Amino acid sequence: MSEFLEATDEAAALESLHDLSCTDGLPVVIPTPSRVERLVLASGLDADMVLGELGPAMGIATVEKVAVAAVMAGCIPDYMPLVVAAVKAAADPRFDLTELQATTHCTAPLIIVNGPARIECGPVASGFGALGPGHRANASIGRALRLCLINIGGGRPGVSDMALLGHPGKFTYCLAEAEEDSPFPPLHTSLGFDATDSVVTLLGCEAPHSVLYSDNADDPEDAEKLLYILSTGLANLATNNAIFTSGTALVVLGPKHAGVLARANMSRDAVAQRLWELTHLPTADHDYYGGQYGSRFSDEEYCVFAEPENILIMVAGGSGLYSMVMPNWGGASHANCAVSVQVENNFFCEIPGLSGNP
């Protein structure tokens, strides 16, 4: 059972939560017992069911504690299966959450949603401004995970979360793949799931870096030029990936850029393969600029990413001249890899009479 705080009214409760460092600095919805109960019911899971352990505080993430965070973040019941899946992914040992929360790097967990849950548990935006403000599900689902990392995982700036600056995605970082606008099969099918599955993929990564490419259908080198530009954003010497030579980075192709690659008859795997090739960089530069991480390679070029599979590719955003890349940290024992969890939304439960409660 969660501990209870008492306050004379909601304004006093909010101040109390701020004082206890239980918020992300923004106002939260007060997690009253009835609001929490409503989201626990929506999960279809027992309140005391353990979803995992969240470091560095090694707090136990029960469904009830996660529901508290979801209420505070402004989630509605529909979103709970996605919040639960995101927390499970964060608690997966392969995600190395303790190290991700503690690193001086600015990494934040990005939630990528694929499959029918994009609509059924949202809608989670995948188009214009999907990573910006104005999309309730994206904003509150990502924020719910962050509040779990603060209040269950104990990640607090300067004490246990040692990110030197952090980035705005540490408030919320969530989007869906624009599967209908993509020429490729959905991302999660590349990760071993069926297209009909609903999946949350969690990747600790930097803030999105914009990639401009002005495409030209008459240019026979159009796809290759786009891939070159993407590769320069993905793995320049300012990135951890290029210096540590580890990690998994994300490419978010805008639908127009995805179309450029489709016109060249490139599959998702072919795109990843070519980006992997284009992110082979001169060893001399790594030696010169790599500081304590340099002088590790003997060939003229070195691989930034271990395998093409370390470059994830998804499609999202409005259609135009921009895509985005998210390099990542590359540290910890699993090298900052992506973790995917199937969304269990068959248990969703809304109890008549509770749904209207504030």
Partner 1 sequence: MRDGINIAKSGIPSVALVTEDFWPQGDFVAQSVGMPSIPRVKLPHPVAGTGEVRMKEIADNVIEAIVDRFAA
Site for partner 1 in 152-181 (CB under 8 A): 154, 158-160, 162
As measured in angstroms, the least distance from the Cβ of 91 to partner 1 is: 15
Length of the chain: 358
Enter the tokens of residue 68.
């508290």
293 binds partner 1 (CB under 8 A): no
335 binds partner 1 (CB under 8 A): no
Task: CB nearer to partner 1: give 58 or 195.
Answer: 58
Size of the site for partner 1 (CB under 8 A): 13
As measured in angstroms, the least distance from the Cβ of 99 to partner 1 is: 8
- Binding partner 1 (rule: CB under 8 A), the pick from 31, 52, 55, 169 is 55
Enter the tokens of residue 282.
């001169």
Task: CB nearer to partner 1: give 214 or 292.
Answer: 292
Q: Which stretch binds partner 1 (CB under 8 A): 151-159, 191-199, 201-209, 322-330?
A: 151-159
Q: Taking Cα atoms as reference points, which of 100, 169, 126 lies closest to residue 336?
A: 100
Distances (CA, A) of 41 to 1, 148, 176: 15, 18, 25
- Residue 215, number of CB atoms within 10 A of its CB: 17
- Binding partner 1 (rule: CB under 8 A), the pick from 7, 20, 26, 58 is 58
102 binds partner 1 (CB under 8 A): yes
Tell the burial category of 292 from Cβ atoms under 10 Å away from its Cβ (0-12, 13-18, 19+). Answer: exposed
**Which long-range contacts does 45-48 make (Cβ < 8 Å, 24+ apart)?**
45/84, 45/347, 48/1
As measured in angstroms, the least distance from the Cβ of 195 to partner 1 is: 40
- Binding partner 1 (rule: CB under 8 A), the pick from 214, 265, 292, 333 is 292
As measured in angstroms, the least distance from the Cβ of 145 to partner 1 is: 20
Tell the burial category of 33 from Cβ atoms under 10 Å away from its Cβ (0-12, 13-18, 19+). Answer: exposed
Q: Tell the residue number behind the tokens 């973790």, with chain if given.
A: 339
331 binds partner 1 (CB under 8 A): no
Distance from C-alpha of 324 to C-alpha of 145, rounded to nearest angstrom = 23
Task: CB nearer to partner 1: give 102 or 178.
Answer: 102
Distances (CA, A) of 143 to 72, 140, 287: 9, 5, 40
Per-residue DSSP letter, 125: P
Q: Which residues pair with 342 in a beta bridge?
A: 199
Distance from C-alpha of 40 to C-alpha of 33, rounded to nearest angstrom = 10
As measured in angstroms, the least distance from the Cβ of 160 to partner 1 is: 4
Enter the tokens of residue 16.
């109390």
- Binding partner 1 (rule: CB under 8 A), the pick from 25, 133, 291, 353 is 291
The single-letter code of the amino acid at 236 is: N
As measured in angstroms, the least distance from the Cβ of 295 to partner 1 is: 16
CB 340 within 8 A of CB 89: yes
Distances (CA, A) of 261 to 112, 252, 308, 321: 22, 13, 17, 13
Q: Which stretch binds partner 1 (CB under 8 A): 53-61, 240-248, 281-289, 341-349?
A: 53-61
333 binds partner 1 (CB under 8 A): no
Enter the tokens of residue 188.
């999660």
As measured in angstroms, the least distance from the Cβ of 201 to partner 1 is: 27
Task: CB nearer to partner 1: give 64 or 161.
Answer: 161
As measured in angstroms, the least distance from the Cβ of 162 to partner 1 is: 6
- Binding partner 1 (rule: CB under 8 A), the pick from 24, 31, 38, 56 is 56
Task: CB nearer to partner 1: give 243 or 315.
Answer: 243
Q: Tell the residue number behind the tokens 């989007």, with chain if given.
A: 175
Residues that bind partner 1 (CB under 8 A): 55-58, 98, 102, 154, 158-160, 162, 291-292
